[in-house]
Structure 1
């Protein structure tokens, strides 16, 4: 064994490599992106021929990983929490088909919405799907859980959900890791191929078997569940989930005084929770996310037992937990390490100087002011910052791909002009189907695909549609004369504004593609070129 200083994401990635994976499938999304990037850069990936390219979206990633499992090899699929919504169809059904080679679905949740639209807690998806859930409380556990998760997956023939939060994904700790990696795992094809064909008769049989497994899975949760009792007397009992365990131990400062049930695997072990209740006066549930455990515990203990947490106001109802908020809920004096300084000047994010999106919004604002009823429907990406000063150029941003379909719906209602702004990676992720709907209905919308040749918001990963957008739009049925490419630069402003005006006035679907490389990825390329000279 040797020690490495690793992010939680990096510990997961190294654990997967050492557990003998054959492939990683992912769509970039903070705070999960570094898992795939670590694997892509690892020498072991090239040495073993591990598949590690970015996918078009989370659904395709989930399905490809399931295909690798079908073929008998170990695979992981990585995404952020809102990406699990996109992958949900395949994710839920994968628990019914079961798996062959081990399959771990790694989802990074984002309490406090540091870079997300909501605070969704992915543990609800795991419970809904009836699959085992792992939630590491430390980077060391994150590393170790990968080998354990694959063994669990192959033994139970089920996918495993591994859930982390932003603080676990993006904090560092020393991790003891193995000196060598397991050999690549490969199992023969499943003996009963009908389990993978979800005709209703097969699905009913498979689902019944899945339900029957739940009591056994509950017993297996003891592998990463530990009851720490502080003496024989009754005291406050704490259920500490995932990284919440670290906050509890920090608040304790080694002095004890509480009975603590550490939970890092689900379904919840009912017997352990009842054992904690028997030696406690009341229970505080510490979980970074939504009240997933807090809602289940009263059903296990009865209505008369006091259970506190986010729902009772003892912990904040929204946002990340902190050591201070947990200490206060435990009745300890807060050190207020995490208090925001009162003299801190806010620094809202802004589009980079030299970014092509700036020129797109400058041109769009120039034209839009000529149309009193114009509305601009935008999407998820760097260009969402067009909502902020100095541009204030967009009127909506809901979810990946929503810009085109919302513009279409508004146009169907009679709005003119209805304009959609979407990025290159987001367009291939979930915008293409909306454009097809618009073409089929001959919707009167103007679509701007702002192409910076990368997935810029998450650090410059490859974009699935690079150099294919004109062909995609033509293939979906947009008229060739209304697929137009411009270069977003100040010197081209007259051409860009003229193009936008002409396409707004066209009664049908038109697509404008402003194309210029992201200034950040371009700078990195130029530095690398100078370095290689």
Structure 2
């Protein structure tokens, strides 16, 4: 065994490689992005010929991973928590089809919404799908769960969710690695109808899934990731899930917590362990980084008469990340804190990079919109979302990937004409194309601005599936080529770009504007690489 200093994301990536991975599928989204990037940069993954290309969106990634599992190979799919919403259809049905080769679904949650629209907890999806969940408390466990998760998946013939949160994904620790497994040999399902979800077959598969639930729970009871720690003071029992166990241990530097602790890092909940701590203790405190899933379950899990504390009753905040100080406060433990950091400079919100083409697009757009007034610009998820802030204050909505076009269409249907949608090139191919087709089918009076910086900029400059093909896609969807117009978003072209925008805003139908300028960050990176080569 050798030890490496790894982010939680990197530990998962290395664990998957060593666990016999044949293919990883993902769409970039913080805090999950580094899993794919680590495997893309791994010499070992290259030598093993592991498939490691970005997918167009999370749904296509989930389906591709399921396709690799169909062949008997081991696959992993990765996305952030809101990406699981996009992948929900194949994710839910994959628990009914079952797997052939092991399949791990990594969902990276973002409590406190550091870079997300919500705080949703992916464990609810896994409970809904009735599949096991692995939730590491540290980077070593993240590695081991990725390594062994394939075997767990194959044992129960279902996908396994590996759920992490932002702190786990983006903090480092030493990780001891194992001897790598060989990849599975190609072998097709023994039941040729396993993956055919006609109702008659799906009903049989569903009964099989229901029949494995007791076995999954039994596996949780003996899982090395679930541990019961005895202690003398039975006035309180603590159930700590995932990284919250780490936060608990930080409150007791010598690992001398006076209360019994049940560490839960594999689900379904180990019922016998839960009943043991409930029966032994006068009250319970539930620590979980995310929604109060375990706390809610316990209130229907046992015939509870004793107090159960957590996020639901105010012992812990209902929103935001858990941390050691919040845990200490709930336990009445004194924490030594340093002096507050002086506010030497005023905090500033994030802003578009100097030299970013989106800046010029918003300056053009704001001037072109003056005659129509505010409230007509529907935006999307990407760097350009920062156009909602000063000095631009240019956009009125940001809801989910692809919603700009469909919301603009709905507003136009209601009589708000013109309605403007602004979307990035990567987001357009992720989930904007179908919305544009809807608009084309009705020739809706909307203008779609696809602000093309030739990359997936917000998550670090990954390959954009739209690169070099936006015009052809729009034409293929039925947009009139006369109303597909490419623009050069530079200050010297400001007057011309405003004129083009005004012309298309006045058009009574679907038009697409494509302001195209390479992301300033990927441009600088490309120039540095070219300089090295020369």
TM-score normalised according to structure 2 size: 0.98
Tell me, yes or no, if the aligned pair for 1:101 and 1:187 is still in contact at 8 Å: no
Match of 2:113 in 1: 113
Tell me, yes or no, if the aligned pair for 1:235 and 1:257 is still in contact at 8 Å: no
Question: Any residues of structure 2 matched to 1:71-470 within 5 Å, and which?
Answer: 71-178=71-178, 180-222=179-221, 223=223, 224-231=225-232, 233-254=233-254, 255-336=256-337, 345-372=346-373, 375-470=376-471
Match of 1:515 in 2: 516
RMSD (CA atoms): 1.3
SS for the counterpart of 1:512 is strand
Q: What is the distance in 1 between the residues matched to 2:172 and 2:287?
A: 21
Q: What is the distance in 1 between the residues matched to 2:48 and 2:215?
A: 35
Tell me, yes or no, if the aligned pair for 1:368 and 1:374 is still in contact at 8 Å: no
The Cα of 1:343 is off from its aligned counterpart by: 6.1
Q: What is the distance in 2 between the residues matched to 1:170 and 1:290?
A: 20
The Cα of 1:369 is off from its aligned counterpart by: 1.1
Tell me, yes or no, if the aligned pair for 2:135 and 2:162 is still in contact at 8 Å: yes
Q: What is the distance in 1 between the residues matched to 2:533 and 2:387?
A: 36
SS for the counterpart of 1:195 is coil
Tell me, yes or no, if the aligned pair for 1:135 and 1:264 is still in contact at 8 Å: yes
Q: What is the distance in 2 between the residues matched to 1:457 and 1:82?
A: 15
Q: What is the distance in 2 between the residues matched to 1:337 and 1:522?
A: 42
Q: What is the distance in 2 between the residues matched to 1:143 and 1:176?
A: 8
The 3 A distance-change label for structure 1 pair 310 and 337 is farther
Q: What is the distance in 1 between the residues matched to 2:124 and 2:342?
A: 35
Q: What is the distance in 2 between the residues matched to 1:161 and 1:46?
A: 25
SS for the counterpart of 2:450 is strand
SS for the counterpart of 1:161 is strand
The Cα of 1:252 is off from its aligned counterpart by: 1.9
Q: What is the distance in 1 between the residues matched to 2:230 and 2:247?
A: 17
Q: What is the distance in 1 between the residues matched to 2:238 and 2:341?
A: 27
Tell me, yes or no, if the aligned pair for 2:238 and 2:262 is still in contact at 8 Å: yes
Segment drifting more, 424-433 vs 326-335: 326-335
Q: Gaps spanning 5+ residues in structure 1: where?
A: none
Count of matched residue positions in the alignment of Structure 1 and Structure 2: 531
The 3 A distance-change label for structure 1 pair 373 and 176 is closer
The 3 A distance-change label for structure 1 pair 338 and 84 is farther
The Cα of 1:373 is off from its aligned counterpart by: 5.6
Q: What is the distance in 1 between the residues matched to 2:149 and 2:197?
A: 25
Match of 2:489 in 1: 488
The 3 A distance-change label for structure 1 pair 135 and 338 is farther
Q: What is the distance in 2 between the residues matched to 1:256 and 1:411?
A: 60
Tell me, yes or no, if the aligned pair for 1:101 and 1:186 is still in contact at 8 Å: no
Could you give the per-residue CA deviations for residues 441-470 of structure 1, whole angstroms, max 9, x where no partner exists? 110000000000000000000001111000
